[in-house]
Amino acid sequence: TTLKLIFSIFRFFSLSLRTKLSPSVRAAAVNMSTLLVNRPQYSWLRELGLGEDNDGVYNGCWGGQGQVVTSYCPANNEPIARVRQATMAEYEETVQKAQDAWKVWADVPAPKRGEIVRQIGDALRGKIKALGSLVSLEMGKIYVEGVGEVQEYVDVCDYAVGLSRMIGGPILPSERPGHALIEQWNPVGLVGIITAFNFPVAVYGWNNAIALICGNVCLWKGAPTTPLTSVAVTRIVAEVLERNHLPGAICSMTCGGADIGTAMAKDERVGLLSFTGSTQVGKQVAMMVQERFGRQLLELGGNNAIIVFEDADLNLVVPSAVFASVGTAGQRCTTTRRLMLHESVHDDVVERIAKAYKQIRIGDPWDPNTLYGPLHTKQAVQQYLAAIDQAKQQGGTLVCGGKVMDRPGNYVEPTIITGLPHDAPIVHTETFVPILYVLKFKTEDEAFAWNNEVKQGLSSSIFTKDMGRVFRWLGPKGSDCGIVNVNIPTSGAEIGGAFGGEKHTGGGRESGSDSWKQYMRRSTCTINYSKDLPLAQGIKFE
């Protein structure tokens, strides 16, 4: 009914244009009318400051003289609105303005910086529904996940406010009389933040809030396919800075593609580059940053496993595995891609999960009843089909799913595949789609080894009631991942802990715990307040 109404309005509008306007004006008007931002049901986009054409550069002033890109809705592949990206000249101007802004921001006491971050969190709260809807519309994740993602930014702001009164180093005992030995932590200066399409708000928030209270300024390049979210978030943050008479360039933004990302990686003025994306691109970024001996924070791929032992509570296992494998249509870096089942429960669990898959409510991501939306791009659909073909060729059996859905947008069926060897090439390949590979194991040692044999090391989880096994899993011979869970899914991390992984996941840590240290540089300081000059280690030099 809604679609019929939309088409009726569009048809009426088009007919009116044909009868009243000249051909050239008519063509331009029809093109404008096809943008979702101009349709009444998407009028809330205007609340976020978005229009047909949007500036993709912010450095205290809005601009954008580069390529014009159109953002599309993955649920129907219709155009939402356009963004003008940054030129290299605008990138250079923005970095210079950010450096000037840092001179102001670094002099603001940390608790006062925390107050600004608190205001950013409150401003996000005021726009949480509209911004969550935009994430759903532009990225494709369901509405509750879109709102939840904005909530993560809000939560990190709250966390950072408290942290702004706590960061600092210890006073250490000096072996020399009349001397003090302290650690001083200072900001790195300019933090470059490159984020991915799957979390276009939260990952920026993790970096931005912590970097700000540490005394840094930020330069953000969001994913080229979610530019409207980058613009909308930056507008909210910019209003807070401007209201407090602070330079807007404290939180700068340059929308763009690989050219801007490469410039950030090679730019010695970028004190820390935080990159979230694929392992393949992350490796290239790491090499460019390392070549200039820069500092990097990498959040890359994950090939995450849930291990289910014979004593597991299957009433916890089934919803956990379904949420972790199907949530965000398999496009989380923490998505469960491998489900390892003890041979005694294998068949039962597969049957239960397959039944649950068939009950998943698929639909428009902004419909509150929908649990599963589209893939982000048409290219992802092709990757999904290619992975299924490879799995079949390597001995896999399709339990459910495996097809592209016959409806508008980038919808595919959530898929379960059994029968593959644990070391099959496709099992060891992270494909960013909703395909779950189910493996059968016999022993604990076998399961732990399979968990660790992939190149990535992001998230992992076991389901068991055996406390000895729990602590073996958490210990040195257990999981080698950065996130090691028990009786919960691999996805859905809280902001209070450090988020990140090992090996090809990149080694970076964001958000909670002591992740703030990555955004600062440490100096060991010795102060002589005596009238003597004793040397360390008792050395005499007279």
Residues designated as active site? 299
Listed in sequence order, the residues at least 6 apart from 24 whose beta carbon sits closer than 8 Å to its beta carbon are none
DSSP result, 91-155: HHHHHHHHHHHHHHHTTS-HHHHHHHHHHHHHHHHHTHHHHHHHHHHHT---HHHHHHHHHHHHH
**Distance in angstroms (rounded) separating the CA atoms of residues 146 and 202:** 10
In the numeric block, the tokens 């935080």 are attached to: 274
Q: How far apart are CA 218 and CA 220, in angstroms?
A: 6
Q: Which two tokens stand for residue 215?
A: 């005394």
Reading the block at residue 112, the tokens are: 């006062």
Distances (CA, A) of 504 to 198, 206, 274, 290, 501: 19, 21, 15, 16, 8
CB-count exposure of residue 33 (10 Å: 0-12, 13-18, 19+) = middle
Neighbours of 52 (CB within 10 A): 13
Are the CB atoms for 355 and 399 separated by under 8 Å? no
From the number of C-beta atoms within 10 Å of its C-beta (0-12, 13-18, 19+), residue 330 rates as: buried
Give the closest residue to 213 by CA, choosing from 58, 86, 103, 109. Answer: 109
SS3 529: coil
Query: Which tokens is 508 given?
Result: 């970076």
| Sequence-separated (6 or more) residues with CB below 8 Å from residue 343 | 440, 441, 442
CA–CA distances in Å: residue 131 to residues 101, 234, 341: 27, 11, 39
- Please say whether the beta carbons of 160 and 114 come within 8 A: yes
